[in-house]
Chain A
Amino acid sequence: MMNTAGHPMLKTHGVHKSFTLHLQGGTTMPVLENVELTVNSGECVVLSGPSGAGKSTLMRSLYGNYRVGEGSILIRHQDSWVDLATADPRSILAVRRDTLGYVSQFLRVVPRVPTIEIVAEALTLRGADHAEAVTRARTLLLRLNLPERLHNLPPATFSGGEQQRVNLARGFIGGHPILLLDEPTASLDAINRDAVVGLVAEAKAAGTAILGIVHDLPTRDAIADRLFKLYPAQMAAA
């Protein structure tokens, strides 16, 4: 068992992020200002703050999907720290493959690929045997109440909730030491929310550092060890 007392896995220092909209006359929108956040192993931190406070922008920045203007985003990757704000693309891809998992709100995949393969791929990319990855994918999908008859179909025609669960399975199967969850329960019913709460609890017990955006309060209360509040940038500046 890992030490779950917690050591830092993700740290940000002085993160600033603004968007410059060149198609709208070069308007600049500040979104994040001076964000200082630490997430430890074995804990789940949930971002809070009003709509427009930059929760999703912060999540995407932490994954290297958005480029921050200033500050550092330090990720504990194979016993050293990698700064995603300055790392080259190949290093960011290596961090994502081995250390940093992400569950987005939307599923974006190659069309016509069966669900089971989409989920298993997240594991084979990390070097797992294909047959073993498929077995684990099946177990995880069933646990998220996605019936076996759907496993060999591509997810394009699935409902929002079903796609969300494919996304969750894909995010959890890799067993990454750090997991970012962007509204993982947004389109799920109560039974499936409970399944997610169970997965998060297990991941925490295994030492995973988790950061989430969770709007539904029962889920939030069930998984969060603490909240991290964000304020809209303009207000923070005033």
Chain B
Amino acid sequence: MTLPLLEAHDLQLQFGSIRALDHVSMALWPGEVLAIVGESGSGKTTLLKVLSGSDKPDAGQVLYRDPELALHDVHAMGAPQLRALHRSDWGFVQQNPRDALRMGVSAGGNVGERLMAQGDRNYGNIRQVALDWLAQVEIDGRRIDDLPRTFSGGMLQRLQIARTLATHPRLVFMDEPTGGLDVSVQAKLLDLIRSLVSRLGLAVILVTHDIAVARLLAGRILVMRRGQVVETGLTDQVLDDPQHPYTQLLVSSVLQA
């Protein structure tokens, strides 16, 4: 039996009188896509921040198991160690690509920067890897020296994905990756994420308010409400046969196009 890549035990976090995380536990296995869904204010983005180490919980633990199976307490490690983890084993895809990309650096430079942070110093090699990645996310290689600000929203998001995946992370956190995009661009991006994730065997924690996105990308789902996990399980089972009153409400509230 393989062991989880990431585990959270009894996380608690209070913002004033609001319980952002109320006894949340979860586990993620290698190669698995887990969606965290819930309406705004449910705590899903807070959970992502705590899992990825950027916000500290009041109580509870987040444990990461490295490729040598050693366990690391994410909130006990020092900032340099956590940064190193984010540069190597982990990746983060932000909802707004402008928050992750360097807008004043070329497209190729954005991809190459993460490789250089990992210690690659061969310019020709970095440029070739960047070109490969631009091709994988369907950005024309001739745009490699262009600045991101000349790119459309969908292209920026694809560039962010290339930048994130170029260093071969094992675990990728995604915060509403298709959030700010036109529906037509969204569909293309969903297909891209889906095929990259399955081809590279990535483990992904995906925060989304869109349960259709969760259904298409995630094998397992976690439904949050007021800082609590109200239901979790196989994605299609939770969405087609919801047991908790809140999940039933959530599923029945979706507009059918």
Chain A residues with CB under 8 Å of chain B are: 19-23, 60, 64-67, 89-90, 92-93, 108, 110-113, 125
Contact = CB atoms under 8 A, between A and B. Distances in A.
Point out which of A22, A93, A112, A113 has the most chain B C-beta atoms below 10 A from its C-beta.
Answer: A22
A89 B219 contact: yes
Contact of A90 (B29, B194, B216, B244): B29
A22 B241 contact: no
Nearest to B234: A89
Nearest to A156: B187
Given A23-B245, A60-B240, A89 B233 contact: yes
Contacts of A19: 241
B240 A110 contact: no
Interface of B: 29, 32, 184, 187-188, 190-191, 194, 198, 215-216, 219-220, 233-237, 240-241, 243-245, 248-249, 252
B237 A64 contact: yes
B32 A67 contact: no
Nearest to A91: B234
Contact of B252 (A23, A93, A108): A23
Given A60-B240, A67-B241, A110 B216 contact: yes
B237 A66 contact: yes
A60 B194 CA distance: 24
B233 A112 contact: no
Nearest to A61: B241
Nearest to A26: B245
Nearest to A20: B243
25 contacts: A19-B241, A22-B244, A23-B245, A23-B248, A60-B241, A64-B234, A65-B236, A65-B237, A65-B240, A66-B240, A67-B233, A67-B237, A89-B219, A89-B234, A89-B235, A89-B237, A90-B29, A90-B220, A108-B215, A110-B187, A110-B190, A110-B191, A110-B194, A111-B190, A125-B198
Contacts of A113: 191
A67 B216 CA distance: 20
Of all A-B residue pairs in the complex, the 10 with the closest CB atoms, nearest first, are A22-B245, A111-B187, A89-B234, A66-B241, A112-B187, A110-B191, A89-B220, A22-B248, A113-B191, A93-B219
Contacts of A112: 184, 187-188, 191
B252 A65 contact: no
B219 A67 contact: no
Contacts of B245: 22-23
Contacts of B191: 110, 112-113
A64 B248 CA distance: 18
Nearest to B233: A89
A64 B233 CA distance: 11
A113 B234 CA distance: 24
Contacts of B243: 20, 67
B194 A93 contact: no
B246 to A, nearest CB: 8
A21 B249 CA distance: 10
A216 to B, nearest CB: 26
Nearest to B215: A108
Nearest to A66: B241
A22 B187 CA distance: 33
B194 to A, nearest CB: 6
A117 B198 CA distance: 14
Contacts of A60: 240-241
Nearest to A108: B215
Given A66-B241, A89-B237, 5 more contacts: A21-B248, A65-B236, A65-B237, A93-B219, A112-B188
A15 to B, nearest CB: 14
Contacts of A89: 219-220, 233-235, 237
A216 B191 CA distance: 36
A110 B197 CA distance: 14
A111 B29 CA distance: 28
Contacts of A125: 198
A29 to B, nearest CB: 12
A110 to B, nearest CB: 5
Nearest to A130: B199
B55 to A, nearest CB: 27
A93 B187 contact: no
Nearest to A110: B191
A125 B184 CA distance: 26
B191 to A, nearest CB: 5
A101 to B, nearest CB: 15
A18 B215 CA distance: 23
A90 B241 contact: no
A88 B123 CA distance: 47
